[in-house]
Amino acid sequence: MPADVPAAALGHVFRRPELLRQALTHRSFAADHNERLEFIGDGVLNCAIALMLYERFPQMPEGDLSRMRSSLVNRDTLYRHAAALDLGASIRLGEGELKSGGATRPSILADALEAVFGAILLDGGFGDAYAAIERVYAADISGADTDAIAKDPKTLLQEWLQARHLPVPEYAIVQVQGEAHAQTFEVVCSIPALGVRAKGAGASRRAAEQAASARAYDQATQAPQP
């Protein structure tokens, strides 16, 4: 295992190190790249997180479990964990991707981490993959806040509006800044019926929409009702 992928963090010693090498190979580097492993990794990650949440929250209904799982397996969370593991230092990239900052690009890092999970599944079976995912996500699962995660700001805002028979909010990107590998999105969330217009920023459109939704929710719940 490359030194840049901490063995203690993943808890897996590869019997077939070529699987890890493939998981850390971007399509710009070689034909034998990590996209098929990413596909497998996405499946095992969703299954493992679903099992963890099922056991952690025995009384939570299916809809809330699904929303919580989505918040844990999305690209932003995967990127955060991949960056913490310093996967970027180990990913093999083509010259063009390397020069354009691919080693720090959220999408490349998130996909590589999923591919690593897929490689562990093929190398050691579901038990090993589950254990690796559990190690990476331990703090997320143990510190999970059902109110904060099960219903993200967009969901909270939409449900609050629907309960009052108001139209769903409107979202629009107003600005994108930075290089392709380190972009910042600015989004406006509007609720014309309440005169609410809130801005939010993030490393992805989704993150920016969530930030804007949180501010719009604060404004909406304090505004005079029509």
**Active site residue ranges:** 42, 114
Give the residue ranges of DSSP H helices in the chain.
Answer: 7-10, 17-23, 35-56, 62-73, 75-84, 95-99, 106-124, 126-142, 153-163, 205-222
Burial of 18 (0-12, 13-18, 19+ CB in 10 A): exposed
* β partners of residue 201: 186
Instruction: Please list, in sequence order, all residues whose beta carbon lies within 8 angstroms of the beta carbon of residue 16, skipping any fewer than 6 positions away.
Output: 122, 123
Distance CA 73, CA 45 (A): 7
Strand order in the sheet with 196-202: 170-177, 184-191, 196-202
Distance CA 189, CA 203 (A): 17
* The pair of three-digit structure tokens given for residue 14, joined into one six-digit string: 């590869």
Distance CA 207, CA 107 (A): 14
